[in-house]
Amino acid sequence: MNDAIEFSSTVSAMTRSGILVVTIDNAPVNATSADVRSGLEKALVHAEATADVAGVVITGAGKTFIGGADIREFGKPAIEPTLPAVIEKIEKLSKPVIAALNGAALGGGLEVALACHYRVASSTAQVGLPEVKLGIVPGAGGTQRLPRLIGIPAALDLITSGRSAKTDEALSLGIIDEIAKADLVETAISAAQKLSGKQLRRTGELSIATKEAAEIERAAARILGRARGQKAPAEAVRLITSSNRPLAEGLADERATFLTLRDSREAAALRYVFFAERESSRVEGLEGIEPRPVKTIGICGLGLMGSGIAVAALAAGYMVIGLDQTAEAAEKGRERIVGLLERNLASGRLDQNGFEAQKARLSVTASDADLASCDLVIDAVFDDLDVKIDLFRRLDKVIRPDAVLATNTSYLNPDEIAAATAYPERVLGMHFFSPAHVMRLLEVVRCARTAPDVVATGLAVAKKLRKLPVVAGVTEGFIGNRIFSAYRREAEFLLEDGALPHEIDAALEDYGFPMGLFAVYDMAGLEIAWARRKRQAAARDPATRYVGIADTLCEMGRFGQKAGRGWYAYPDGKRTIDPDVTAIIEAARAQKGITPRAFPKSEIQERMLKAMAAEGEGLLAEGIAARPSDIDLVMINGYGFPAHRGGPMFARN
């Protein structure tokens, strides 16, 4: 072993047993920045020119191999060498180049590995080409080399979903050649020694199996159907399914497509979302504040929300104590939770050991006193102020003064709940979205008297639950439901002005929402919002515009899908435009003397976006939301706003 050679400030190497071991050390994720690329290129030139170097191993420092190209360089002037140029050099080197995957090999990171002549991975590594999640396609050979290695159908699945594959799957697919049983780099060095002087397997020269034409067509159709108009998945399909052509031709097409998409609005939106997700848990005033330790979580109310929260907490490794009003109800809650765990087991998301371990960490009770050992208690009982205040007063008596109390209310004022307790500083809102074990979004609501370390605890627990936390202040509906109310209000104004529910829904689906507002409304049921409107009626300002059409539907028992009719009718469960609803809307217009007019999709979309962004401005001005990107994350992760549009605040720019 000789001295280290610095090929750049982020790339160094040592020769070990005649093999040049090149390490990329570019925190935090070893992204292939300009410095990494030039360092790699110099290392390859050195290896090629140095007689006593028989091969090369490339690996990363820390827990990541290469997290991809440096996204922060996007949109900036290109600096040579480009990643494709470095990758071509790897593939064409006359000496074996081994990729030693010490952790995540994503995007450009996997593309580097694909150009190597052999890939060995540690058992904790993961591989993927997530570029479509950034509105782009792999731009350094991924769409051309991956199909050569694993076939078109498997490449289509990985690239158009952007998902990662763990090492077992990567080995069975043929992406990697070996999982290191001993030291990773030693394993790679011996692979290089074995391949030295041998015919090297260059991925780019491999031919592509073409026998699965029908399967490929079916897969492509499915993917395009799911893309909902996004460009990147469609371009990825085109590049992968046409990869059976000369490599250079495919690479040139891929690169041109990558560069076009990279500079697109869609990619800018998804990059914005990428960094926004990493920003959301950075909260002013919490720098250096340690969260309180949480090992055991109590959950009050084991209905739909409570059982979902319990499953998320068990999956995150917490002890869970579920409380319900009676022993029967508590037992029903356990069955519901265990039922969800069994579903995870059946779908392979959980193995038998995991299932047993999670079940073992769950206990249920009908006695408040059994929550005494909890570090955090989350209320998921019926959304009624008196019910919640009574519960919090009872909990105050049994749990430790330093334990944290959280309410999952969606619309009540958590300040009023906190004020009813002995230690309001330990109360905050943790607003989960249904189903709570699936939906990523978690609004962490800071009440007027919530202590900073309690907010920090909410954020830390959210991260451990693998949720996307967004901090919100106290207002009716916090960030999400407040914007949703504005969005719903504008949609109802449009109804009076001349549009119909299916036209508004079509405009929203055309924009990229998975489902239009009125269809969502019918699915969720109209009665909860009606009850709230009735509660608010006395305080409503008669001067503000109010649309009573939804009230009329509710008075007629049209509560939505489960009632067989709402904004739509559901003969045999199928959503159908209902002329009765059109008549109700026309009558409402006539009553107000409104002359309806037709609305093109674009105008409907514009009015809806404007209403959401205007409400967002209000939230920022009131300090309820800390930054526009937090509002966008809430709407994308909680209300189906298409991520490739960036969210209502991004979209207004």
For tokens 């360092």, the residue is: 39
Instruction: Tell me: does residue 395 bind ligand T1G (CB under 6 A).
Output: no
Q: Residue 60 or residue 566: which is nearer to ligand T1G going by CB?
A: 60
Residues ≥6 apart with Cβ < 8 Å to 213: none
Q: Residue 135 or residue 628: which is nearer to ligand T1G going by CB?
A: 135
Q: Residue 143 or residue 409: which is nearer to ligand T1G going by CB?
A: 143
Judged by CB under 6 A, the stretch of 11-19, 107-115, 207-215, 536-544 that binds ligand T1G is: 107-115
Q: Residue 125 or residue 549: which is nearer to ligand T1G going by CB?
A: 125
As measured in angstroms, the least distance from the Cβ of 418 to ligand T1G is 31
Judged by CB under 6 A, the stretch of 138-146, 173-181, 546-554, 563-571 that binds ligand T1G is: 138-146
Give the one residue of 39, 55, 60, 67 binding ligand T1G; rule: CB under 6 A. Answer: 67
Q: Which of 41, 88, 91, 111 is catalytic?
A: 111
Assess contact for 472 and 479: CB atoms under 8 A.
yes
Angle between helices 247-262 and 142-150 (to 10 degrees): 130
Q: Residue 278 or residue 597: which is nearer to ligand T1G going by CB?
A: 278
What is the distance between the alpha carbons of residues 145 and 239, in angstroms, rounded to a whole number? 11
CB-CB neighbours of 527 under 10 Å = 14
Assess contact for 430 and 444: CB atoms under 8 A.
yes
As measured in angstroms, the least distance from the Cβ of 259 to ligand T1G is 10
Give the one residue of 39, 55, 60, 68 binding ligand T1G; rule: CB under 6 A. Answer: 68
Question: 16-50 as b/e, with b when 16 or more CB fall inside 10 Å?
Answer: eeebbbbbbebeebbbbbbbbbbbbbbbbebbeee
Q: Which of 88, 91, 131, 509 is catalytic?
A: 131
What is the distance between the alpha carbons of residues 92 and 374, in angstroms, rounded to a whole number? 60
Q: Residue 141 or residue 424: which is nearer to ligand T1G going by CB?
A: 141
Residues ≥6 apart with Cβ < 8 Å to 101: 59, 65, 113, 119, 120, 121, 122, 125, 127, 176, 184
131 included as an active-site residue: yes
Give the one residue of 72, 226, 295, 466 binding ligand T1G; rule: CB under 6 A. Answer: 72
Assess contact for 84 and 251: CB atoms under 8 A.
yes
Instruction: Tell me: does residue 535 bind ligand T1G (CB under 6 A).
Output: no
Give the one residue of 53, 106, 320, 581 binding ligand T1G; rule: CB under 6 A. Answer: 106
Give the one residue of 131, 375, 522, 630 binding ligand T1G; rule: CB under 6 A. Answer: 131
Q: Residue 275 or residue 382: which is nearer to ligand T1G going by CB?
A: 275
Q: Which residue(s) pair with 397 in the sheet?
A: none
Instruction: Tell me: does residue 108 bind ligand T1G (CB under 6 A).
Output: yes
Instruction: Tell me: does residue 77 bind ligand T1G (CB under 6 A).
Output: no
Q: Is the dihedral of CA 191, 197, 202, 207 positive or negative?
A: negative
Q: Residue 301 or residue 628: which is nearer to ligand T1G going by CB?
A: 628
Judged by CB under 6 A, the stretch of 132-140, 148-156, 363-371, 492-500 that binds ligand T1G is: 132-140
Q: Residue 431 or residue 467: which is nearer to ligand T1G going by CB?
A: 467
What is the distance between the alpha carbons of residues 263 and 259, in angstroms, rounded to a whole number? 7
Give the one residue of 41, 88, 111, 375 binding ligand T1G; rule: CB under 6 A. Answer: 111
Judged by CB under 6 A, the stretch of 113-121, 126-134, 245-253, 413-421 that binds ligand T1G is: 126-134
Q: Residue 164 or residue 481: which is nearer to ligand T1G going by CB?
A: 164
Helix H or strand E encompassing 43? helix 34-49
Judged by CB under 6 A, the stretch of 68-76, 201-209, 500-508, 524-532 that binds ligand T1G is: 68-76
Q: What residues numbered 291-330 form the site for ligand T1G, per CB under 6 A?
A: none
Size of the site for ligand T1G (CB under 6 A): 25
Give the one residue of 11, 21, 22, 29 binding ligand T1G; rule: CB under 6 A. Answer: 29
What is the distance between the alpha carbons of residues 336 and 305, in angstroms, rounded to a whole number? 11
Instruction: Tell me: does residue 646 bind ligand T1G (CB under 6 A).
Output: no
Q: Residue 111 or residue 630: which is nearer to ligand T1G going by CB?
A: 111
As measured in angstroms, the least distance from the Cβ of 332 to ligand T1G is 37
Q: What residues numbered 85-104 form the site for ligand T1G, per CB under 6 A?
A: 104
Instruction: Tell me: does residue 71 bind ligand T1G (CB under 6 A).
Output: yes
**Per-residue tokens: 458:** 């909410």
Task: Print the binding letters for residues 249-288 with ligand T1G: x by CB under 6 A, - otherwise.
Answer: --------------------------x--x----------
**Per-residue tokens: 619:** 């939230």
Q: What is the DSSP string of 160-215?
A: HH--EEEHHHHHHHTS-SEE-SS-HHHHHHHHHHHHTTSPP--GGG-----TTHHH
CB-CB neighbours of 51 under 10 Å = 5
Give the one residue of 55, 130, 135, 414 binding ligand T1G; rule: CB under 6 A. Answer: 130
Helix (H, G, I), strand (E, B) or coil at 16: strand
Instruction: Tell me: does residue 534 bind ligand T1G (CB under 6 A).
Output: no
Query: Hey, what amino acid is at 155?
Result: A
Instruction: Tell me: does residue 64 bind ligand T1G (CB under 6 A).
Output: yes
As measured in angstroms, the least distance from the Cβ of 460 to ligand T1G is 14
Strand 441-445 versus strand 468-472 pairing type: parallel
Q: Residue 192 or residue 227: which is nearer to ligand T1G going by CB?
A: 227
What is the distance between the alpha carbons of residues 70 and 64, in angstroms, rounded to a whole number? 14
Instruction: Tell me: does residue 70 bind ligand T1G (CB under 6 A).
Output: yes
In total, the chain counts a number of residues equal to: 653
Strand 178-179 versus strand 164-166 pairing type: unpaired
Residues ≥6 apart with Cβ < 8 Å to 505: 515, 516, 517, 518, 519
As measured in angstroms, the least distance from the Cβ of 344 to ligand T1G is 22
Instruction: Tell me: does residue 140 bind ligand T1G (CB under 6 A).
Output: yes
599 CB-side CA count, 13 A: 27
Q: Which residue(s) pair with 442 in the sheet?
A: 432, 469
Reported in sequence order, the residue ranges of 408-487 that DSSP labels E, i.e. its strands, are: 427-432, 441-445, 468-472
Instruction: Tell me: does residue 198 bind ligand T1G (CB under 6 A).
Output: no
As measured in angstroms, the least distance from the Cβ of 231 to ligand T1G is 15
Q: What is the DSSP string of 274-302?
A: HHHHHHTT--TT-TTPPPPP-SEEEEE--
The H-assigned helical ranges of 348-451 are 352-360, 385-398, 414-419
290 included as an active-site residue: no
Judged by CB under 6 A, the stretch of 23-31, 406-414, 468-476, 624-632 that binds ligand T1G is: 23-31
Name the residues that contact ligand T1G, by CB under 6 A: 28-29, 31, 64, 67-72, 83, 104, 106-108, 111, 130-131, 134, 138-140, 142, 275, 278
Catalytic residues: 111, 131
